[in-house]
Amino acid sequence: MKNYKGLIYPYIVWIAIMIVVPMLMIFAFAFIQDDGSSVSFTFDNFKRFFSDETFPNVLKRSLGIALSTTLVCILFGYPAAYIMSKAEGKKKSLLVLLMTMPMWINMLVRTYALMGILADNGLLNSILSFLGIPMVQIMYTDSAVMLGMVYDFLPFMVLQIHGSLEKMDKSLLEAAADLGAGKGKTFLKVVLPLSIPGVLSGITLVFLPAVSSYFIPNILGGGGYTLVGNLIQQYSLTTERDFASAISLIMAVIIMLSMALTKKLEKFSGTEGSED
């Protein structure tokens, strides 16, 4: 049998160049201060972030809208995934196709398309005007930003939960029915616990990009709606790249903590590795 271990080396080199080296550069920019004559280690960038109440407020807003987006995706995504898992044959294939089709289109293009729907003279207000209903102002609001995130990230939640439901041992449902459990009790005692890994994976895939998103707030928030991703972008384009690096490290810590929390929840629920 041939040894294919050597094939991993190009991947390791790629990871080192595209991930490890940039992270080391961000770390260096965040902690090292160069005044032209000397280089010193400093925490000034982090002190600046937490001493000015503007930046922590932006962080709170980012976490809040990311959590809200994640909760909405669970509320809408779980029923959709459950219906998909119950469908059979061509109907199931069609539902999966309809759910994955938006992912074939670039996320930026989809967000611009949503902008055309929500604009004051867009499709939504045109329909409301035709029906004699007062037009609504959605663009450049919190609602528009969250709607854009839900629209872009919902398929990730649905597909993760659907995959978990598909891998579930169907004989457990038959066993629950034989023991006299109704549909509601079977769902609460069997289906829901076994689908937790998919829900947690979906939470990870929705929350992490939502908390660091910058182009959705830029487009649907009109540029005046600032999240952490926008801060990083703004300061990266100026001479204050060290401050942008510090914000990036703060976000990296938050992301790692959220992933650790997700792992803990998997262990606590007793579902870790249940899909294997």
CA 149, CA 64: separation in Å to the nearest integer? 13
Judging by beta carbons within 10 Å of its beta carbon (0-12, 13-18, 19+), is residue 50 exposed, middle or buried?
exposed
- Determine contact, residues 221/144, Cβ cutoff 8 Å: yes
Positive or negative: CA dihedral 62, 141, 102, 162: positive
CA 175, CA 258: separation in Å to the nearest integer? 36
Tokens coding 232 = 């990083």
Domains of the chain: which residue ranges? 65-269
Q: How many CA atoms lie within 13 A of 131 on its CB side?
A: 9
**Coil, strand or helix: which one is 21?**
helix
Tokens coding 222 = 């009109």
Calculate mean pLDDT across residues 150-157. Answer: 93
Q: What percent of the chain has pLDDT over 90?
A: 26
User: What pLDDT, on the 0 to 100 scale, is given for residue 273?
Assistant: 44
pTM, rounded to two decimals: 0.83
Q: Give the helix/strand (H/E) hosting 209.
A: helix 192-211
- Determine contact, residues 85/166, Cβ cutoff 8 Å: yes
User: What pLDDT, on the 0 to 100 scale, is given for residue 202?
Assistant: 92
pLDDT in tens, 100-110: 888 888 888 99
User: What pLDDT, on the 0 to 100 scale, is given for residue 68?
Assistant: 94
User: What pLDDT, on the 0 to 100 scale, is given for residue 162?
Assistant: 93
CA 54, CA 58: separation in Å to the nearest integer? 6
- Determine contact, residues 236/195, Cβ cutoff 8 Å: no
Mean pLDDT of the chain: 86
- Determine contact, residues 138/118, Cβ cutoff 8 Å: yes
> Residue 270's pLDDT band (boundaries 50, 70, 90)?
low
Q: For residue 143, is pLDDT > 70?
A: yes
Instruction: Out of 141-145, 224-228, 252-256, pick the least confident.
Output: 224-228
The values of phi and psi at residue 232, to 5°, are: -60, -45
Under DSSP, the state recorded for 227 is -
CA 149, CA 63: separation in Å to the nearest integer? 13
More confident residue, 67 or 188: 67
CA 225, CA 93: separation in Å to the nearest integer? 39
> If you classify domain 65-269 with CATH, what class do you get?
mainly alpha
Q: For residue 1, is pLDDT > 80?
A: no
User: What pLDDT, on the 0 to 100 scale, is given for residue 2?
Assistant: 60
- Determine contact, residues 199/164, Cβ cutoff 8 Å: yes
pLDDT in tens, 32-49: 876 666 777 889 899 999
CA 157, CA 106: separation in Å to the nearest integer? 18
